[in-house]
Amino acid sequence: MYTGNALDEENKIIAKGEGIYLWDVQGKKYIDALSGLGVVNIGHCNQQVVAAIKEQSEQLEYISPFMGFSHPSVLKLVDLLSPLIPIKNPKFYFVNSGSEAVERAIMIAKQYHIRRNMPNKQMIIGLEGSFHGSTLACFSVGGLPNLSHFYGPLLPGTIKADCPNCYRCEFQKESCNYYCIQKLKKLIQYYRSENIAAFIMEPIMNAKGIVVPPTGYVKKAYELCRENDILFICDEIVTGFGRTGSMFVAQEAGIQPDIITVAKGLSSGYIPISAAIISEQIADEFTKRSSIQNVYGSTFGGHPIACAAAYANVKVILEDNLVENANEIGQYIEEKFKSLYQFNFVGDIRGRGLMWGIELVKDKKSKERYPLSMKLSQRMESGLYEKGLLCRVAADVIRLCPPLISSKEDIDNIYTILYDFFSNLDLNNNL
């Protein structure tokens, strides 16, 4: 049971972090090839961010976002972020976690259509296999059924489109004809656009195992939404702030979503902060009658210290050219990791920038998975941790998301641990 505390005996107790490294209480050193949880884009304990947090704490630690209050820390952050967001004149709705940002995005989308006198537009389309957070609305739009089946009927009117998973594509035989997009189109026709509020997707699906949709998918899905007056919500909670080698995938795809959700890389996790970022057009519908900030309250939304941490973090990303670094190192990973295909259980290696997945299969040709009873993922994850590599292994996909400060040498070290570990694996017997 995850307690959030170090109460479980098997908990790994981490005492210190610096750059891409972590140390446990026994002093053992690990490479954090997961950036905590796809969070710590600038690496651990960056002193510029630490100093910014201290300075803001000494100036003003809290002021209510209600009653017309604001503060310089949030205003500075908005000025820094605005030109980076692939939305014209973006408006920021700051909250505290990724789930909360998605929850607000869903609520804003639904209310937007009600405010513009189209109250029937309330359905939300998500993708099979997607993960958007752990509130009930987030589970409802997400597509991981093992997470949601404990909660009975979820948010009504949430529907799922096929997962654009090229490695396990059910449609494509010889070449990609974007059947996944054609199916999405049919789904919209079936449920009718006059009933659909929004489509939400992760441009690269994290929890599903770093599933990268076919090139052009994001743009095509976006265009489909535009043609049908459906809001496009781009969940960039993991991919945002340089993770994939561009500031946002939306920007790279050449689209201007109606809503973008961000969290992890916004502050690199130094203090929790997230945001639903919305277009001016949506904001205008709200501000006709009331201020967007007051539409739903959040006691801690836009917290001064969190904003100061986010500001300093984004400055580091920009000044140290970490997005460009992620792009360059990503290309290095792509080349270097190809040789892992020599192992007969490595089925697929996919990703972009510093977000990679290695899918393990029993049979490369048929792509058959190992039996669940083997607990392959858990055993891989703890085996690699013992070797000093922190990564996440779930659904037989090793997820690697090292900090954006990673060098080629760091990647070589990650590769060596993986290579040695794979070389000594006997999947017919024990790990």
Site residues, ligand PMP (CB under 6 A) = 97-99, 102, 131-134, 202, 206-207, 235, 237-238, 263
Q: Cβ-count burial of 174 within 10 angstroms (0-12 exposed, 13-18 middle, 19+ buried)?
A: exposed
What minimum distance in Å lies between the beta carbon of 341 and ligand PMP?
27
Q: Which is nearer to ligand PMP, 238 or 314 (CB)?
A: 238
Q: State which residue has the least CB distance to ligand PMP.
A: 98
| Residue that has been written with the tokens 């709200």 in this structure | 286
Q: Which is nearer to ligand PMP, 307 or 346 (CB)?
A: 307
Q: Which is nearer to ligand PMP, 110 or 243 (CB)?
A: 243
Q: What span, in angstroms and rounded, lies between the C-alpha atoms of 77 and 92?
A: 10
Instruction: Kindly state the greatest CA–CA separation across the chain.
Output: 66
Q: Which is nearer to ligand PMP, 112 or 131 (CB)?
A: 131
Q: Which is nearer to ligand PMP, 346 or 357 (CB)?
A: 357
Q: What span, in angstroms and rounded, lies between the C-alpha atoms of 231 and 213?
A: 20
What minimum distance in Å lies between the beta carbon of 399 and ligand PMP?
11
Residues with Cβ within 8 Å of residue 64, at least 6 apart in sequence: 299
Lay out the sheet containing 397-400: strands in order across. 346-352, 355-360, 397-400, 392-394
What minimum distance in Å lies between the beta carbon of 147 and ligand PMP?
11
H/E run at residue 30: strand 29-32
What minimum distance in Å lies between the beta carbon of 321 and ligand PMP?
25
Neighbours of 161 (CB within 10 A): 22
322-337 vs 408-423: helix axis angle to the nearest 10?
Answer: 30
What minimum distance in Å lies between the beta carbon of 339 and ligand PMP?
29
Q: Which is nearer to ligand PMP, 2 or 190 (CB)?
A: 2
* Strands in 33-112 per DSSP E: 91-95
CA neighbor of 279 nearest in space, from 82, 94, 65: 82
What minimum distance in Å lies between the beta carbon of 345 and ligand PMP?
26
What minimum distance in Å lies between the beta carbon of 407 and ligand PMP?
26
Q: Which is nearer to ligand PMP, 99 or 325 (CB)?
A: 99
Query: Measured in Å, how far apart are the chain's first and last C-alpha atoms?
Result: 24
